[in-house]
Amino acid sequence: MQKILVAGGAGFIGSHLIDGLLKQGNIVICADKLIMGDKNIEHLKENTMFKFYNTELADQENVDKIFEENNIEIVYHLAANSDIQKGGEEPSIDFTDTLMTTRTILEGMRKANVKKLFFASTSAVYGELLDVELTETTGGLMPVSYYGGAKLASEALISSYVSMCDMAALIFRFPNVIGPRLTHGAVFDFIKKLRNNPQELEILGNGTQCKPYIYVLDLVEAILKLMNSLNPGESIYNIGVTSAGTTVTKIAEIVVEELGLKDVVFRYTGGDRGWKGDVPRFTYNISKVLSTGWSPQYSSDEAVRQTVRDAIQLGM
């Protein structure tokens, strides 16, 4: 049993990670400012192994207080703006919720002498390298969104703290994550739009944008597996699926099919991407994480289909 801090634990991925950590018998301290509300952790409030702080993690005093009041042994840092499109409209969101939270958490760890960290990074750190197979050692990283920039800057900070404070850090760079409790993204938006108008669906871009989608429970399994065998220093992994990605049009077709709709007209807004800062396609190499013995249960298309079924089951 360990005392674990999950920063951003009330979010989509964080809440699933907490479920997994609690199943392992750990004491989990969750810190989140509840931008999306507390619905993802409502089922945990009576759990005596779960403790919650409703707090602004970009504030150093708040973070220091959490470390002072709890004998934390491991930190899982998932606190960030998770909506690239939203951050593109207001850069301060990514600066505050992603980069500044990384800085305060690392400082809190340094002061409390906490040595083990997991950081949720992103494929967005690579920028727009459309015709390059992306590996963990791919160079020339130039993010094209504020979100990607804040994540890459966070990775740099982590690297320096790992070196200066003898920490062990695991960094996962993952693409689109979907599954139960999803709050935004193409799958979420398409279901919502078709609930409002089952005859027509607006699709941003030209529909050919293609990305890998990983099911959230596959991701959580990988996080727990590799953190249980964390090595000294910094370890970076691309993580995704072994199949090809899923186009936006394919997502729309799966949603339409699972909702049982007929003759839906797709209306495209045009262009090769949904918004400025969006990367329309990329090729991800995940051979490094596959070499650990982990592999995803769901392909990209299967993850999309299962996510739609989850949403239907949950009454979305």
Q: Please give the domain boundaries of the chain with CATH numbers for all domains.
A: 3-177+215-238 (3.40.50.720), 179-212+243-281+298-313 (3.90.25.10)
- pLDDT category, 86, cuts 50, 70, 90? confident
pLDDT of 82: 74
Task: Please give the share of the chain, as a percent, with pLDDT higher than 70.
Answer: 99
- What's the chain's average pLDDT? 93
pLDDT of 20: 97
Q: pLDDT tens digits for 198-257? A: 999 999 999 999 899 999 999 999 999 999 999 999 999 999 998 889 999 999 999 999
Return contacts of 190-195, CB within 8 angstroms, 24+ apart.
Answer: 190/251, 190/252, 190/255, 191/255, 191/259, 191/308, 191/311, 191/316, 192/316, 194/255, 194/256, 194/259, 194/261, 194/264, 195/316
pLDDT of 126: 94
Q: Report the greatest alpha carbon distance in the chain.
A: 60
* pTM, two decimal places: 0.93
Answer whether residue 114 shows pLDDT above 70. Answer: yes
Read off the pLDDT of each residue in 58-76 and give the average, rounded to a whole number: 98
Helix axes 248-258, 300-313, angle to 10 degrees: 40
SS3 percent helix, strand, coil of the chain, rounded to 5, is 40, 20, 40
Answer whether residue 316 shows pLDDT above 70. Answer: no
Read off the pLDDT of each residue in 139-168 and give the average, rounded to a whole number: 95
Read off the pLDDT of each residue in 50-77 and give the average, rounded to a whole number: 97
Q: Which two tokens stand for residue 7?
A: 């920063």
Q: pLDDT tens digits for 178-197? A: 999 988 889 999 999 999 99
